Amino acid sequence: MQELVHQLGINWKLLLSQGANFLILLIVLTLLVYRPLAKVMEERRKKIEFGLVGAEEAERRLKEIDQLKEEKMTEADKNALKLISEAEKKGQKRFDEIIKVAEEKADGTLAEAARIAEHKKQEELDRLFEKANALIKEAIVKMVELDPKYIDDKLISRAAEVIKEKA
């Protein structure tokens, strides 16, 4: 075996020193390069996992927010419809009140106009009655021109009452 090693040109000392150098290099590279690199890669992997978990959480929360937004919009629509309905009811109630007040004022105005008309009618009747009295007196005076002493206010009043009753 020694011959074979010699024929191949293997030097034990050199092989052993190269092995020691490789082992030293392996230890140095492991300590200075591989472990820090593995540590950085592990931190990077954790950050990526954290980012993925955060993205999933953000997506889940976004869905919840969208659902909440839809619920709020539906509720807001219902509230808006309710407010519109209430406003329409209040408007209708106010309209009815205004109409009622206007009708009451119109009735009052009509009643006042009827009272004024009745008053004017009564005044006209009184004036007409006075004129009728005067005309009756003149007619009686002319009829009884021969003897005016039979004409007195009592006769005139009685004639006016008869006319008034017939009217």
**Which has the closest alpha carbon to 67: 83, 80, 75, 78?**
75
pLDDT band, residue 149 (cuts 50/70/90):
low
pTM over 0.85? The answer is no
* Chain segment 85-136, per-residue pLDDT in tens: 999 999 999 999 999 999 999 999 999 999 999 999 989 888 888 887 787 7
Longest CA–CA separation in the chain, Å = 201
Q: For the chain, what is the domain count?
A: 1
Amino acid at 132: A
Residue span of the structural domain in which 63 resides: 2-166
CA atoms of 74 and 71, how far apart (whole Å): 5
pLDDT at position 164 is 73
pLDDT band, residue 148 (cuts 50/70/90):
low
CA atoms of 119 and 128, how far apart (whole Å): 14
Neighbours of 10 (CB within 10 A): 10
